[in-house]
A and B are shown apart, each in its own frame.
Chain A
Amino acid sequence: MVVPMASTFNPDSVFAALADATRRDIVLRALTGAEGVAQLAGHYPMSFAAVQKHVAVLERAGLVTKERTGRRKVVRTNVEGLRVARSLLDEYEALWRGRIERMTDLITSMEETVA
C-alpha cells in the first residue's frame, strides 16, 4: 500500500514524540483544534515553557500544526499524520512479530541447554 503522506514523516521523530505521556495527551486534546499553547498549558502541572517545548517536539514530528484562527493561534492534531504513523494493525503486527521471534529464540535456546 502506498501512502504518500508517509514520506513526509520521519519515524524517528514521530515515535520519539509519542513516547511521552504529556505529548500523547496534547495530541488527543488538539484533535479539536480549539486551544492555543497557553490554554493547553493549563491542563498540566508544568510551566508554559515546558508545554511549549512539548508542542514544538510534536510540531517537528508533523503530528500537530499551529493554525491561525482570527487573532488566535490554535494547536491542531494532524490526524492523517497520526494515522500514518500509528496504524493499529501495523503496530500489532510488529508487536507479534517481535514476540514470535522471542518465542523461537526461547525454544532454540532451551533445546540447546538440554542437548
Chain B
Amino acid sequence: MTVTDVRKDPAALTLTVTAEFDAPPERVWQLWADPRQLERWWGPPTYPATFTAHHLAPGSRVEYHMTGPTGDQPHGYWEVLEVEPPRRLVFRDGLAHADGTPDDDFPRNEGRVTIEPLEAGRTRMSIQSRFPSSAAMERYLGLGMEEGLTQAVGQIDAILAEKGAAR
C-alpha cells in the first residue's frame, strides 16, 4: 500500500490523499505529463480514459473521455491553473457534454497535486481535492457523477472478490 495518509475535512470540503512512490519526482511527474501514461491510471479499469487534448500550461484545457463497458462515453476536462514541473499541478476537474462544453449540473472540483523528493530516490505526492460548495456536494450525492458511479462499480468488484475469496 503506497497511500500513507488520507485526510478528510468535511467543513472545508477537502480530501487530501498522500502517497509515496519508489521512484524520483521526475518519474512521478510523467504520470501526469505524459497523456499515454495518464490514460493508464485516470479511469478505472471498467472506464479507461482517452485524452484528446493535453497541454499542461496555465489557462490550457485538457480534454478526455472515458469509455464504459456498454460503450457509454462520459466526457471530462481540466482547466489547468498552475504548472511547475516536476513539483506542482493545479487544475479544475469537471464533466462535459459530448461536444466538450462544460456540464454545469455537476460540481467541478479543484485538484492540487504536490510532488516532493524524499531520501533514497523516493517521492511523496499529495493530491488535495476541494469541492466548491456543500450544495455541489448535495447535487453530487443525489445525481452521482461518472467518477462516483465507476467507483461504485469498483467497489462492487471488490465486494465480489472478497466473497469469492471467502468461499
Residues of A in contact with B (beta carbons under 8 Å apart): 11-12, 15-16, 18-19, 24-25, 27-28, 31, 82-83, 86, 88-104, 106-107, 111
- Bound-state CA distance A99–B154 (Å) is 11
Residues of B in contact with A (beta carbons under 8 Å apart): 2-3, 6, 8, 10, 15, 17, 19, 21-23, 27-28, 31, 37, 40-42, 44, 127, 129, 131, 137, 140-144, 147-149, 151-156, 159
7 pairs from A and B in contact (CB 8 Å cutoff): A83-B141, A86-B144, A88-B141, A92-B15, A100-B3, A107-B21, A107-B23
The 6 closest A-B pairs by CB, nearest first: A102-B41, A15-B152, A96-B17, A89-B8, A28-B142, A100-B19
Q: Report whether B127 and A96 are in contact in the complex, using a CB–CB cutoff of 8 Å.
A: yes
Q: Chain B's nearest CB lies how many Å from the CB of A59? A: 17
Q: Chain A's nearest CB lies how many Å from the CB of B7? A: 10
- Bound-state CA distance A27–B143 (Å) is 8
> Which residues from A are CB-within-8-Å of B19?
100, 103-104
What is the chain B residue whose CB lies nearest that of A94? B151
Q: Report whether B153 and A15 are in contact in the complex, using a CB–CB cutoff of 8 Å.
A: yes
Q: Report whether A106 and B142 are in contact in the complex, using a CB–CB cutoff of 8 Å.
A: no
Q: Chain B's nearest CB lies how many Å from the CB of A22? A: 12
> Which residues from B are CB-within-8-Å of A101?
2
Given known A-B contacts A18-B144, A92-B15, A92-B129, A103 and B31 have beta carbons under 8 A apart: yes
- Bound-state CA distance A112–B140 (Å) is 40
Q: Report whether A28 and B31 are in contact in the complex, using a CB–CB cutoff of 8 Å.
A: no
Q: Chain B's nearest CB lies how many Å from the CB of A15? A: 4
Q: Report whether A98 and B17 are in contact in the complex, using a CB–CB cutoff of 8 Å.
A: no
What is the chain A residue whose CB lies nearest that of B41? A102
With beta carbons under 8 angstroms apart, the residue of B15, B22, B156 that contacts A89 is B15
- Bound-state CA distance A46–B151 (Å) is 28
With beta carbons under 8 angstroms apart, the residue of B15, B23, B148 that contacts A96 is B15
Given known A-B contacts A103-B31, A107-B23, A86 and B153 have beta carbons under 8 A apart: no
Q: Chain A's nearest CB lies how many Å from the CB of B150? A: 8
Given known A-B contacts A31-B142, A102-B40, A106-B41, A19 and B17 have beta carbons under 8 A apart: no
With beta carbons under 8 angstroms apart, the residue of B6, B28, B31, B152 that contacts A18 is B152
Q: Chain B's nearest CB lies how many Å from the CB of A94? A: 5
Q: Report whether A88 and B3 are in contact in the complex, using a CB–CB cutoff of 8 Å.
A: no
Q: Report whether A93 and B8 are in contact in the complex, using a CB–CB cutoff of 8 Å.
A: yes
Q: Report whether B15 and A106 are in contact in the complex, using a CB–CB cutoff of 8 Å.
A: no
What is the chain A residue whose CB lies nearest that of B152? A15
Given known A-B contacts A12-B159, A82-B142, A98 and B137 have beta carbons under 8 A apart: no
Q: Report whether A104 and B142 are in contact in the complex, using a CB–CB cutoff of 8 Å.
A: no
